[in-house]
Structure 1
Amino acid sequence: MSKNSISDNLKTAIQASLNAGKAIMDVYDSDFAVEVKDDKSPLTEADKRANDIINSFLIPTEIPIISEENKQTEYNERKHWNQCWIVDPVDGTKEFIKRNGEFTVNIALAEGGIPKLGVIYVPAIKTIYFADVENKLAFKSELNAHNVSVEEVKGLAQKLTPKNNNSSLVEVVGSRSHMSQETLDYVDDLKQKGKEVQIVSKGSSLKFCLVAEGKADVYPRFAPTMEWDTAAGQAICNAVGIKVTSNETKDILKYNKENLLNPWFLVSK
């Protein structure tokens, strides 16, 4: 399969992310208010608008949706789902509020708890990443506008290739907003093994993209994340042979769990 024959579900996710991205930037360029949700996380009009738009694309597929901004379905019902969409309408709301451009739209499709398709759109720079895990294909397209067709996205697509690192330099992805003590310990451990370490900072799910496109070697995440923060990034990484491994199980991260909170994990070859 080539980028010219991507599935209908991947096309739907690409179109949904582009439309959501345009709405997000309309808010970004205005004087927006910030609410605080019950879990103390920030919420803006962009999150709500983007979620409504994404739902309008995904609901007709008749595949159930787990979204950060939707009311969550009880696990008694979810556990029977073979497939589900996993969505974060604005990943990196803190980055959005800081206006640093490092926020994304994340849309993934999981089957049997495993991400099969993933889209990450970076609306501030009109760059989209998309992947089909089964066919081991992942691409990046740099666009001129939000309102482009899927055909135009495919026409601009460049294949993602991770690093083949044989040097002693290890580029480690760290978070702009929070670098935990455990991450610092991980870096120290690399140095003890004789590695030279360089920290590469990015917000939101862009951290996965850095590893998938060869701009970093490893992304240790020893801090809390939710399934919608990681599913699309995991799909993009898995499609190019990068593993996203749970620190608890030493197996790949799974989705549509009873608890939607992820364990700590490591993104690496």
Structure 2
Amino acid sequence: MNENLKIAIKASLEAGEAIMKVYDTAFDVEIKDDKSPLTEADKRANDIINSHLKPTNIPIISEENKQTYYSVRKNWDTCWVVDPVDGTKEFIKRNGEFTVNIALVSNQKPILGVIYVPATKVLYLADVSLQQAYKVELTSHDTDYDIIIEKAQQLTNEPVNQKLIRVVGSRSHMSQETLDFMEGLKNGGSEVEIVSKGSSLKFCLVAEGKADVYPRFAPTMEWDTAAGQAICNAIGIEVISKETDKPLLYNKENLLNPWFLVSK
């Protein structure tokens, strides 16, 4: 397996263990300048991930790092894209639907991806060049690499049942654009079912075949999506920008993503 993917896996598991130690305490919540929440778990996980990734000498874009100016970043042909705790709001709610996201991007495209779900010890990993993605159910954050490979179940891109299309969305607050999208599916003769998850687990639902399409018509940042896109792309599922009608790109001047659609 790719050495950088091994490093990302180890970093995600160690970060996940640190996150759960905070999860089980009465933690404080700070509000950042962009109004998003921050906890001790975000900080600890970020430090751990940085400690693993820095020795690769590949630059890092992380939600919790100070962002490098684009005048420097534009010269990076390869970089890590990291969200130490994706779904901090889910973490604060203690519903378990938060993840560690680590992706390696080359020429603005994700080539490796790891998503770890600390609360359930479920790991997703992908190597886009090999067109392979896997799901692994662990019993410990401290699991040997050989055991991870032994337990890994390969994900496959199953065909969509056009009669029933499962759409990833919020059950409680759906945007008008998403409602319009679903209405279009219904007008095309499909029955629509809504499936809901927090964080980058939305990508995993589609990759696992538990959902068929994920319309995201709301703001996200590159670190929210890079690992999920790698996992989807590795099994032939596209993540298409609604702005360009082409795959989402990374290490852009503006790290804010356009709206996008994940579909088979």
- Shorter-normalised TM range: over 0.9
Q: Which runs of 5+ in 2 are unaligned?
A: none
Read off the aligned partner of 2:175 and give its amino acid letter: S
Residues paired across the two proteins, number: 264
Distance 2:34 2:198 in 1: 20
Is the CA contact 2:171–2:194 (under 8 Å) kept in the aligned structure 1?
no
Q: CA deviation at 1:163?
A: 2.6
Q: What is the aligned partner in structure 2 of residue 183 from structure 1?
A: 178
The SS at the match of 2:47 is helix
Q: CA deviation at 1:252?
A: 0.2
Read off the aligned partner of 1:17 and give its amino acid letter: S
Of 158, 162, 174, 1:163 maps to 158
Is the CA contact 1:50–1:89 (under 8 Å) kept in the aligned structure 2?
yes
The SS at the match of 2:227 is helix
Is the CA contact 1:33–1:44 (under 8 Å) kept in the aligned structure 2?
yes
Q: What is the aligned partner in structure 2 of residue 78 from structure 1?
A: 73
Q: What is the aligned partner in structure 1 of residue 15 from structure 2?
A: 20
| Superposed CA offset, 1:213-257 (max 9, x none) | 111100000000000000000000000000000000000000000
Q: What is the aligned partner in structure 1 of residue 250 from structure 2?
A: 255
Matched, 1:30 2:25: yes
User: Measured at CA, do residues 242 and 54 of structure 1 come closer, stay the same or move farther in structure 2, by a change above 3 Å?
Assistant: same
Q: CA deviation at 1:175?
A: 3.6
Q: CA deviation at 1:151?
A: 1.5
Q: What is the aligned partner in structure 2 of residue 42 from structure 1?
A: 37
Is the CA contact 1:163–1:217 (under 8 Å) kept in the aligned structure 2?
no
Matched, 1:98 2:88: no
Distance 2:36 2:173 in 1: 14
Distance 1:61 1:176 in 2: 41
Q: What is the aligned partner in structure 2 of residue 107 from structure 1?
A: 102
Distance 1:92 1:162 in 2: 26
Moved more, 152-161 or 124-133: 152-161
Q: What is the aligned partner in structure 1 of residue 189 from structure 2?
A: 194
Runs of 4+ in 1 over 6 A off after TM superposition: none
Matched, 1:264 2:259: yes
Of 160, 181, 204, 1:209 maps to 204
Q: Percent identity?
A: 72
Q: What is the aligned partner in structure 2 of residue 3 from structure 1?
A: none
The SS at the match of 2:11 is helix
The SS at the match of 2:196 is strand
Matched, 1:133 2:131: no
Q: CA RMSD in A?
A: 0.9
Moved more, 88-97 or 156-165: 156-165
TM-score, structure 2 normalization:
0.98
TM-score, structure 1 normalization:
0.97
Is the CA contact 1:119–1:130 (under 8 Å) kept in the aligned structure 2?
yes
